């Protein structure tokens, strides 16, 4: 079912705000010099991309998150391992 116009505008605004927060996180985390900490940016990027994709498909990403792609899965696993030093299943 397609989103009604009001909800689509609300979700679009939310996606823009998330993008702004991600940008600020990048600027603030880069000087820290800790690759593990900055890997959280990868996690945020994947989530943001998923939300954008859902919105383009006229789906409400708040009510139901869409499928994760193989590329996104690989990026998440790599970020997780970068942060914790172990693959997700080993924690």
> For 22-56, what is each residue's pLDDT tens digit?
999 988 887 888 888 889 999 999 999 999 999 99
Q: What confidence score (pLDDT) does residue 1 get?
A: 64
- Average pLDDT for the chain: 91
Choice among 14-18, 35-39, 56-60, 84-88 with the minimum mean pLDDT? 35-39
CA distances from 35 to 1, 14, 21, 56, 79 (A): 41, 28, 19, 32, 10
Dihedral-angle region of residue 11 (phi above 0 means left; psi in -120 to 50 means alpha; beta otherwise): alpha
pTM of the complete model: 0.86
């Amino acid at each position: 079912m397609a989103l009604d116009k009001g909800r689509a505008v609300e979700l679009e605004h939310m996606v823009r705000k998330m993008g702004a927060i991600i940008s600020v996180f990048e600027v603030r985390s880069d000087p820290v010099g800790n690759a593990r900490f900055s890997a959280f940016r990868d996690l945020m990027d994947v989530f943001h991309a998923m939300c954008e994709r859902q919105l383009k498909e006229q789906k409400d990403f708040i009510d139901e998150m869409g499928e994760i792609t193989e590329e996104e899965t690989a990026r998440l696993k790599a970020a997780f391992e970068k942060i914790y030093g172990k693959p997700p299943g080993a924690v």
